[in-house]
Chain A
Amino acid sequence: MSVKIEVGAGGIPHNQILIYGLVGSVILIYLTYLNTYMQAPYFAFFGGLAAVVALIWGTDTIKHLCSYGLGTGVPSAGMIALGSGVIAALFGATTGIFAPIVTVIIAAIIGAVAGLMANAVVRMDIPVMVVSLIELAIVGAITVLGLAAMACGTFEFLGMITGQISILGFTITSYETSLIGGSIIAVIFMLGAIAIQHSFNACLGPGEQQDRTLMLAAECGFLSMIVVAIMSFAFIDRYAAIITLVISIIGWLYTYAKYIELSKRDAYAWLDAQPILEPKGGA
């Protein structure tokens, strides 16, 4: 890439975050497949962790893209990311064990078309547009697939559309009590969109630091994870859901504390700080 404008200088290079984000999130999603091996959904939380990793990567991509000046709000990038992502995630989910890989490929196709349209037809002429929208679509797709896998314990389509309901001791299969039939996927969509668009929007401006922005992204990811963990009580085993919820809350508490710490580091002054020292000899 020939043109490179950083919002806040320094930090980890974007390409490094890209590789760790992509490989890490795909491996974490595949770890939820342990549920199928063990016949118990105790590993559903890996889906949420995959979403958190993807969100950190996506926030850095948004930072990279928005440093060129889109002319419209930062949230628009998050909206197009999840818009492309949810289509890719649900299409990929129908391919069984290959779901995460197919999801990434389909998301890359949709993102590439959106990026080419934005650059060649709408004439944004931003050098990183195509690459960024590909990355964002993949991030959106992994976020949706990860959170969906976390809520219902599997990333396979048939698992997402069938649920069990017990009436008078009999367990029957019902499509209404499933992740997609119950429209939980719409909530996951919005939780992912809010998580991806908030961090950079909140931290941008003078003195923006990469570690603080990415910590906020992780915090938003865990916050979304808590909500999905509560919803997962409806779909997976109670103890598995409790494990998911505890991990989400611990992750959120840790990232929240770290974020406040980093904010205090970067802030000029804060309320419970030492009084601001007056320059000697009066102002």
Chain B
Amino acid sequence: MSALGGPKQAGGIQPPTTMGLVLGIVLIIIALILAFFLVQMAGLIALIGIIIGGVLIGFGVHFVPVGGAPAAMGQAPGIATGVAMLAAGAGLAGLFGGAWAAPLGFAVALAGGAIGGGLLMAITCTMVNVIYVFGMGIPAASGKVDKDPITGDSFPEYKSQGTEGHGLPFISWVGGVIGGALGGLGGTLIYLELLDVYQAQLPVILNATVEQIAPIAISLAGIFAVAMFLINAVLAAYNITGTIEGPHDPKFKRFPRAIIAAAVASAVAGIFAIGLLELVGVF
């Protein structure tokens, strides 16, 4: 605990503490070894897939333009809700898309998940701008950059005084779609890896066919994918601390911290999800 209560350094992005990094690496290695001993090679591959999925979620959240309460009042750019809600929406939409496509093969399912998440964010971002422009009568203007990096539109002329910008510029829209796609991809990857593990183990434990245990395997993999999605999304939200405009925001540069945190959290949560069925019938 001694290293945690340290004084805040002024300015810049604070790098992770050495203790945090060492602890993270140790935890990931322990989780990988445990996965190998519990479910052999399949477990190891599944846990690596889960860690990659968690990292994709943690990285993807940084792309999503989150405005929070200031955006609801038209005083900051972005979608007017919190990181956890937006990420959960995009991730769950992606997960539904991926889970529906799961019987069609690994690649199709992953693509389905990415498209599901990206589509939800595309619709959300478009409708947010429709409400901003036609409902609230405010133009899209970023407060963090002078020119849109993609379209080249200039912002300062349109930005109201006393605000950090408002509306949803095109770069934020693109960021939202990329973030949704990455989140959906990561969530689907976690779901597919867990589904493989459960579909291999459950028929042996319950002495039943794969078709009979399908509802349990799908439900367990789904709820664990949602749970890990939320853990990673909230850690990324803590990294962003509040609002972010998209990939052009200076806060975006903080993403390496969230990737480390998401990898470690996914590894620890994932090992419990993979080892879930090892203890059934022991007690």
Contacts and interface: CB of A to CB of B under 8 A. Distances in A.
Given A79-B84, A110-B268, A122-B239, 6 more contacts: A87-B272, A95-B282, A118-B238, A161-B216, A180-B219, A186-B219
Most B CB contacts (10 A, CB to CB) among A70, A116, A124 go to A116
Interface string B257-272: 1101100110011001
Contact of B238 (A72, A175, A176): A72
B275 interface: yes
Contacts of B14: 123
Interface stretch (B20-28, B115-123, B143-151, B170-178): B20-28
Interface in B220-249: 220, 222-224, 226-231, 233-235, 237-242
B40 interface: no
Nearest to B281: A158
Contact of B276 (A70, A72, A91, A109): A91
Contact of B226 (A70, A71, A113, A186): A186
B88 interface: yes
A260 B155 CA distance: 48
B223 A117 contact: no
* Interface majority SS (helix, strand, loop, mixed), chain B: helix
B16, B220, B269, B277: residue with the most chain A Cβ atoms closer than 10 Å? B269
A185 interface: yes
A75 to B, nearest CB: 6
Interface residues of A, number: 54
Given A125-B4, A175-B215, A75 B85 contact: yes
Given A91-B272, A120-B20, A125-B8, A82 B279 contact: no
Contact of B272 (A71, A88, A116, A121): A88
Nearest to B240: A72
Interface in A55-108: 70-73, 75-77, 79-80, 82-84, 86-88, 90-91, 94-98, 106
Contacts of A98: 283
B276 A80 contact: no
B213 interface: yes
Nearest to A176: B215
Candidate in B206, B223, B277 with the most chain A CB atoms within 10 angstroms: B223
A84 B235 CA distance: 12
B20 A72 contact: no
Contacts of B261: 117-118, 121-122
Given A79-B88, A113-B264, A120 B17 contact: yes
Interface string B188-221: 0000000000000000001010001101100110
6 tightest CB-CB pairs across the interface, nearest first? A120-B20, A71-B241, A96-B283, A83-B230, A73-B82, A181-B215
B215 A117 contact: no
A15 interface: no
B191 to A, nearest CB: 13
A42 interface: no
With most chain A CB atoms within 10 A of its CB, the pick from B206, B238, B257, B275 is B238
A84 B3 contact: no
Contacts of A82: 227, 230
A76 B234 contact: yes
A185 to B, nearest CB: 5
B10 interface: no
Contacts of B275: 91
A2 B227 CA distance: 33
